[in-house]
Amino acid sequence: MDLTRFLRLLESHGADLRRWPADDAAAARALLAQSAEARTYLQRAAGVEDALRASRSLPDAAALERMRAHVARHVARAPLPVRPGLLHWLRPLLPMGGGALAALAACGLWLMLASPVPLDDAGFNAPRQLAMIESTD
């Protein structure tokens, strides 16, 4: 591992080598044993992380009690959690249902707006002609 790759990994995984991928951590330890520059970069990164950890804040006891009471008060009056019903499991199929409805609406619109098909007069006359033939017999 060279210094450039070490610095890249240092920025990606942080200064704690235990949180690095095992192979990279082993290579980094080998580099750190040889390179004073790598050790300086690691110490600098560790310093930034220490400063970050030192700046975190926990709630004091009063704030914690206030939050807990707030949650308990609301939960005590809230309805019970709703179990997923059949509709919940059918939700992934909603797009399919929506598509079918859209297709149906398009068909209906097309039927309403389309001009009627011209009918053949001969078709209407056929029963009449049959009746005339039968009456002449």
Partner 1 sequence: MAVLLRIKEENHGGPMFLLSLPFTAPPGRSEPLTPPRTEAQAVLNRDRAAATDEALLAWSAAGDRLAFDQLSLRHLPRLYQLAHRITGDAAAAEDVAQEAMLRVWQAAARFDPERAKFGTWLHRIATNLAIDRTRQARHTAPAPDDTLPAPGPSPEQQAATRQQRDRVVAALQEMPARQRAALALFYDQEMEGAQAAAALSVSTRGLEGLLRRARRFLAGKLED
Chain residues that interact with partner 1, rule: CB under 8 A: 11-14, 19, 44-45, 47-49, 51-60, 63-64, 66-68, 70-78, 80-84, 88
| Spatial contact of 45 and 10, defined as CB atoms under 8 Å apart | yes
* Residue closer to partner 1 (CB basis): 70 or 102: 70
Q: Is the CB of 56 or the CB of 128 nearer to partner 1? A: 56
Cα–Cα distance list, 71 to 60, 68, 80 (Å): 17, 5, 14
Report the residue number, 77 or 128, with the smaller CB distance to partner 1. Answer: 77
Q: How far is the CB of 46 from partner 1 (least distance, A)?
A: 11
* Nearest residue to 31 via CA among 48, 9, 53: 9
Euclidean distance between CA atoms 13 and 16, whole angstroms: 8
Q: Work out how close the CB of 101 gets to partner 1 at its nearest, in angstroms, rounded to a whole number.
A: 27
Nearer to partner 1, 89 or 124 (CB): 89
Least gap, CB of 98 to partner 1 (angstroms): 23
Q: Which two tokens stand for residue 128?
A: 């009449």
C-alpha dist (Å) from residue 17 to 6, 20, 24, 47, 121: 11, 5, 9, 14, 91
At its nearest, how many Å lie between partner 1 and the CB of residue 104? 32
